Amino acid sequence: MLIRELKIPDSYEITPKQFGDDRGVFLEWYRFDKLEETIGHSLNLRQANTSVSKRGVVRGIHFADIPVGQAKYVTAAHGAVLDYVIDIRVGSPTFGQWDTVLLDDTDRRAIYIAEGLGHCFVALTDNATVSYLVTDVFNPSREHGINPLDPDVALVFPPEAGEPLLSPKDTDAPGLSAAAAAGSLPAWAATRAFYQSLNNGGN
């Protein structure tokens, strides 16, 4: 597999090598050792999630408190989504910026998003099926959101997604500036220290 760092530090696009014949296709969509070589530690995976979305559905921007946070390894098993990683770490050189990876059932790419980063996607097809491997179980008291329509973040949704469809939870979430003022965003220095602790075996 090919692993490429995105413009947001600590996020990566993973492109697997596919082996096809007249029976179909085989690929490795997750390899802990290849990712460990890249990020400095293996993932302690604790939960796997699947969502199915109609075209236009926007899920996010979501993140969890650090520590422990929730790193994510995401791929699309069916259909297509445009996946966004948003740097919400106060003090980061790319704070407020974002990058994207197209996840679909053709190239079968994945995206790795480290703890403390914001995550969002928009479904480009009906029945877009997204699978997530995550490093901690869902804990609602430590989960937070930022409104994906916040003009300070200014996510750009492709025209093929159609009209964005959002949950009340996401539209009621604060904007980036309000979340920063409330002290709910992770700090760049704290996330760097946490990543280093993981690289040192959690010590």
| C-alpha closest to that of 113 among 73, 143, 151, 153 | 73
Identify whether 132 is a catalytic site residue: yes
Q: How far is CA 79 from the centre of its chain?
A: 17
- Please say whether the dihedral angle defined by the alpha carbons of residues 104, 155, 87 and 144, taken in this order, is positive or negative: negative
Q: What is the pLDDT along the chain (203 residues), one digit of tens a residue?
A: 999 999 999 999 999 999 999 999 999 999 999 999 999 999 999 999 999 999 999 999 999 999 999 999 999 999 999 999 999 999 999 999 999 999 999 999 999 999 999 999 999 999 999 999 999 999 999 999 999 999 999 999 999 999 999 999 999 999 999 999 999 999 999 999 999 999 998 75
Annotate the chain with DSSP letters as a single string: -EEEE-SSTTEEEEE--EEEETTEEEE----HHHHHHHHSS-----EEEEEEE-TTBEEEEEEE-TTT---EEEEEEESEEEEEEE---BT-TTTT-EEEEEEETTT--EEEE-TT-EEEEEESSTTEEEEEEESS---GGGEEE--TT-TTT-----GGG-S-B--HHHHTSPPHHHHHHTT-SPBHHHHHHHHHHHHTT--
| C-alpha closest to that of 118 among 186, 55, 25, 177 | 186
170 φ, ψ (degrees, to nearest 5): -80, -40
In this structure, what is the dihedral angle of CA atoms 185, 170, 176, 114, given to the nearest 10 degrees? 50
From the list 12, 73, 84, 132, the catalytic residue is 132
Q: What is the number of other CB atoms lying within 10 angstroms of the CB of residue 170?
A: 19
From the list 62, 112, 119, 195, the catalytic residue is 62
- pTM score of the predicted model: 0.96
